[in-house]
Structures are given as structure tokens and as C-alpha cells.
């Protein structure tokens, strides 16, 4: 009978340990679910905030690019205008120089292939 009592006490202790382990497991499971839900909600918030900031950054970058393109167009037009002015001034200077050379070379007979004979052919 002593063995039987020891066996029953042992069974009682084992069942108590199993119940305690199940309770601990349930608590851990519950806390894990809570942690998981918090992690999901935090991750969703981070993703939402990140996408909002990326959208704002994209809009600002687009606006900056548009302004830069406008300024580049304006600058290009100004450079082209100044380049034409310089080209015209260079052509005028070349004409004036050729005219001066012609005036100095008037004493010589004009040959058909000479550079000084091309008066007013420009």
C-alpha cells in the first residue's frame, strides 16, 4: 500500500507540474501574441510614415527639378543670345579688318582669286 500511496502522490505532483507548465505556456503564448500585435501595428505605422515622407520628398524633388529646368532654359537662352552677339561682333570686326586691308591695297591691281578683290561680296 505504501507503493500505491507513493505512486498517487507522484501522479499528483506530476499533474501539478503539468498544469503549472500549461499555465506558464498560456501566459507566454498570450504575451507573445500581444507582442506580435504591437510589432505589426508599429511596423504598419513606420511604413505609413515612411511612405508619406517619401511622397513629400518626391514632390519637393519634382518641384526643384522643374525650377532647375526653367532656370537652365533661361540660362541657355541668355548664353545663346550672347554667343550670337559675340559672333556678330567677330564678323563685324573681320569685315572691318578686310575693308582696312582693301583700302591699303587699293594701289595694286585686283586679281580675280585674291582675297582683297572680294569687295562687298559678303
**What pLDDT is attached to residue 122?**
45
∠ Cα 59 60 64 (to 5°): 120
Q: What are the residue ranges in the chain where pLDDT is below 50?
A: 120-122
**What pLDDT is attached to residue 21?**
57
Domain ranges of the chain: 2-107
Task: Please report the DSSP string for 67-113 in residue order.
Answer: HHHHHHHHHHHHHHHHHHHHHHHHHHHHHHHHHHHHHHTTTSPPPTT
Amino acid at each position: 500500500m505504501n507503493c500505491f500511496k507513493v505512486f498517487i502522490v507522484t501522479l499528483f505532483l506530476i499533474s501539478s507540474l503539468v498544469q503549472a507548465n500549461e499555465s506558464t505556456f498560456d501566459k507566454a503564448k498570450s504575451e507573445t501574441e500581444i507582442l506580435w500585435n504591437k510589432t505589426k501595428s508599429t511596423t504598419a505605422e513606420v511604413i505609413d510614415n515612411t511612405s508619406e515622407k517619401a511622397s513629400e520628398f518626391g514632390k519637393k524633388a519634382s518641384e526643384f527639378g522643374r525650377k532647375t529646368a526653367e532656370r537652365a532654359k533661361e540660362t541657355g537662352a541668355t548664353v545663346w543670345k550672347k554667343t550670337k552677339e559675340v559672333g556678330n561682333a567677330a564678323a563685324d570686326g573681320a569685315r572691318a579688318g578686310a575693308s582696312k586691308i582693301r583700302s591699303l591695297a587699293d594701289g595694286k591691281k585686283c586679281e580675280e582669286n585674291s582675297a582683297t578683290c572680294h569687295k562687298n561680296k559678303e
